[in-house]
Structure 1
Amino acid sequence: MQRRHFLTLAGAVAAGALAGSRLLAQGVDVDAILRDPAAPTAGNPKGDVTVVAFLDYNCPFCKKAAPDLERTVKEDGKIRLVYKDWPILTEASVYGAQMALAAKYQGGYSRVHHALMAIPGRGVSKEQMAAAVRASGIDLARLEADLTAHAGDISTLLKRNLAQAESIGLQGTPTYLIGPFRTSTLDYAGSKQAFAEARRRQAAE
């Protein structure tokens, strides 16, 4: 991790990142952010470090960082990754989040998530997102059925993600909570360093 990036990360801690005691003092339910049973997850479910990623499918910075994050999580083998769909940029962002979360009911969240993240640029339309989902190989009939059947649960989860983001003062996407750190900048080298530092801090507590 470059020194500038590390200082940004450390500064986020001082400003009130995911440090449990401070968030709890502000009335934030840290466990609900880390372990919402409805939130899609990846990586190792028993990982020793949890990464919470607040993302929007129309966020170019989310798309740029996604491959490095996925690669680092896979290589590390001990990271638990929690996805927080936080569609705040466009109406199409909400549509994309709904599609990804509906795919979860057939075990296809990751497939749809990656398909949507792979669409280049910003300002991606609903039509472009629908085409990407179709190309992902997901069962579209099942997806549409689940989108209707679970509309209330999906809407509730998106509202809960929004409330959680607001409760800890997030300003935009992407935002990553890594152990006690919060950052909006994440690359391959930076994520590896952040995971190592999170472990070091956890061991020192």
Structure 2
Amino acid sequence: MHRRQLLALAAGLSFAGACRPSFAQAIDEDAILRDPEAPMGGNPKGDVTVVAFLDYNCPYCKKSAPDLARAVRDDGHIRLVYKDWPILSEASVYGAQIALAAKYQGAYEKVHAALMAIPGRGITQERMLKAIQASGVDLKRLDAELQAHAADITALLRRNLAQAESLGLRGTPTYLIGPFKTPTLDYAQFREAFADARARQADK
């Protein structure tokens, strides 16, 4: 299935409506960096912002996730913005929806970590649900919030798609670190990218 068709499942769009050319969309930097509905991690007042476009069925996202989390924690001054961008499978859409629903009980990062820790690719909804259950999240409340906030979650996924297309992104993971756009990194490379972003900001 085409990646835009997959997001249309979550966004409530027809396929034709989901396929508007990306060149017609302008980049809205403020919306990308400061969408009030986007989950955040790290230090909200950090001096460097990292925007992470991710899919829970992306093996490269899973490989770099622990290194990103450790690099952000060790630095202490990184503002991390999560952009759920489910482009790989129908289960990816489900994972994004359930993670975003968890935000309403303050458990986005807990669910995010649980989903990223599932090994392999082609992860099913059933495996995702088992991992979330094992994380200790209140599933009854999670289901209620998924229903109650369905429209907000759909709108956020639509914005994430539009932002990814406006940036010309081709796949996951993609990390925006200060002025830099990069794919998979390891711990040392994340730390180096943070330092480079700070140096660039200091030169302005």
Q: What is the TM-score of this pair, normalised by structure 2?
A: 0.87
3-state SS, counterpart of residue 128 of structure 1: helix
Cα shift at 1:28: 1.2
Q: Equivalences for 1:19-58 in 2 at 5 Å?
A: 27-58=26-57
Matched with 1:4 is none
Kindly provide the CA deviation profile for residues 123-161 of structure 1, in whole angstroms up to 9, marking residues without a partner as x: 000000011111110011110000000001001100110
In structure 1, what residue type is equivalent to 2:90?
Answer: E
State how far apart, in whole Å, the 2-side matches of 1:139 and 1:103 are. 9
State how far apart, in whole Å, the 2-side matches of 1:133 and 1:152 are. 22
Query: Would you say 1:127 and 2:118 are equivalent positions?
Result: no
Matched with 2:78 is 79
State how far apart, in whole Å, the 2-side matches of 1:88 and 1:27 are. 21
In structure 2, what residue type is equivalent to 1:66?
Answer: A
Matched with 1:14 is none
State how far apart, in whole Å, the 2-side matches of 1:102 and 1:127 are. 17
State how far apart, in whole Å, the 2-side matches of 1:146 and 1:170 are. 30
State how far apart, in whole Å, the 2-side matches of 1:188 and 1:111 are. 20
CA contact (8 A) 2:61 2:184 kept: no
Matched with 2:163 is 164
Q: Which runs of 4+ in 1 moved over 4 A?
A: none
Computed over aligned residues only, the root mean square deviation of the Cα atoms, in angstroms, reads: 0.7
Matched with 2:13 is none
Matched with 1:190 is 189
Matched with 1:18 is none
In structure 2, what residue type is equivalent to 1:139?
Answer: D
CA contact (8 A) 2:55 2:173 kept: yes
In structure 1, what residue type is equivalent to 2:107?
Answer: G
CA contact (8 A) 2:50 2:175 kept: yes
Matched with 1:8 is none
Query: Would you say 1:137 and 2:136 are equivalent positions?
Result: yes
- Structure 2 stretches of 5 or more lacking a match? 1-24
Q: What is the TM-score of this pair, normalised by structure 1?
A: 0.87
State how far apart, in whole Å, the 1-side matches of 2:91 and 2:181 are. 26
Identity rate, percent = 73
Kindly provide the CA deviation profile for residues 63-112 of structure 1, in whole angstroms up to 9, marking residues without a partner as x: 00000000000000000000000000000000000000000000010110
Matched with 2:98 is 99
In structure 1, what residue type is equivalent to 2:151?
Answer: G
Matched with 2:111 is 112
Q: What is the aligned residue count?
A: 180
- Structure 1 stretches of 5 or more lacking a match? 1-25
State how far apart, in whole Å, the 2-side matches of 1:141 and 1:121 are. 27
Cα shift at 1:185: 2.1
